[in-house]
Amino acid sequence: MTSLPRTPPPKKLGLVIDLDTCVGCHACAVSCKEWNTGGYPAPLTDQDPYGAAATGAWLNRVHGYELEAQIGPGGDDEVGRMIYFPRSCLHCDNAPCVTVCPTGASYKREEDGIVLVDEDKCFGCGLCAWACPYGARELDQGTGTMKKCTLCVDRITDEGLDPADRVPACVQACPVSARHFGDLADPDSEVSRLVADRGGYDLMPEMDCAPTNKYLPPRPRRTGPGAEGEPARLQPLAEAGGFLGWLDRVLAD
């Protein structure tokens, strides 16, 4: 079995994901797939990609959940809200996927806490996938080995890249800046300040995995532009100024 580092890594590189900002566009998943198809530690393969039973390994997936509508303070029904939840490896401090690995293929880096898989040692037994409570590991049927998010370690450590590009592909691709990357062991880092300011939390803390990645909760929905409890309503275009107001009045004549 593999052992975790005896002392906490000096860095804890990870992601902070803003659930209030994420719009579920899947740009993170697609960019992750594209980069890692030819990146570290081994390509992500697809089987029968254009057939009826296409399968393949993805390191990042996005799930959508609809929150139930609630009764507002004024007695009006508020519209239900969609929350999009990106899911990938959380690079846990107490990573059970590491400690169950029989060959040492799964390991946690001592310098920055990133959890990786040594493809040369992995034979696809699946124990790590069963041990992970977050469902963050997938068997690549093309290679017969387990795959997971690497935080694009080949990008973030490549000194030949511009500093602005030395971030995971998913972070660079996010069009609404819902994904943030940095050192969560540094209380003064941008990601640590986001967690402190927005009440960032661990996913499923009862599992005692101590994930490095954090999630920022959705902000409460605004109920009105002015008075508290007044549902927000759109202003009729005919009463609005500017081009749209003029166009609406012209079409109404």
What are the residues whose beta carbons fall under 8 Å from the beta carbon of 226, sequence distance 6 or more?
A: none
The per-residue pLDDT for 229 is: 45
The per-residue pLDDT for 234 is: 43
Residue with tokens 């009729």: 236
47: which strand partners?
55
One digit per residue, the tens of pLDDT, for the chain of length 253 reads 678 998 999 999 999 999 999 999 999 999 999 999 876 666 888 999 899 998 899 999 999 998 765 555 555 555 667 899 999 999 999 999 999 999 999 999 999 999 999 999 999 999 999 999 999 999 999 899 999 999 999 999 999 999 989 999 999 999 999 999 999 999 999 999 999 999 999 999 999 999 999 999 988 765 555 444 444 444 454 455 555 555 556 555 5
The per-residue pLDDT for 208 is: 96
- For the chain, domains (ranges, CATH) are 13-221 (3.30.70.20)
CB burial string 47-74: b at 16+ within 10 A, e below: eeeeeeeeebbbbbbbeeeeeeeeeeee
Q: Which tokens hold the place of 78?
A: 């508020």
What are the residues whose beta carbons fall under 8 Å from the beta carbon of 50, sequence distance 6 or more?
A: none
The per-residue pLDDT for 241 is: 56
What is d(CA 193, CA 198) in angstroms, rounded to the nearest whole number?
Answer: 8
* Strand-pair category, 214-216 with 13-18: parallel
The amino acid occupying position 232 is: A
What are the residues whose beta carbons fall under 8 Å from the beta carbon of 235, sequence distance 6 or more?
A: none
pTM: 0.82
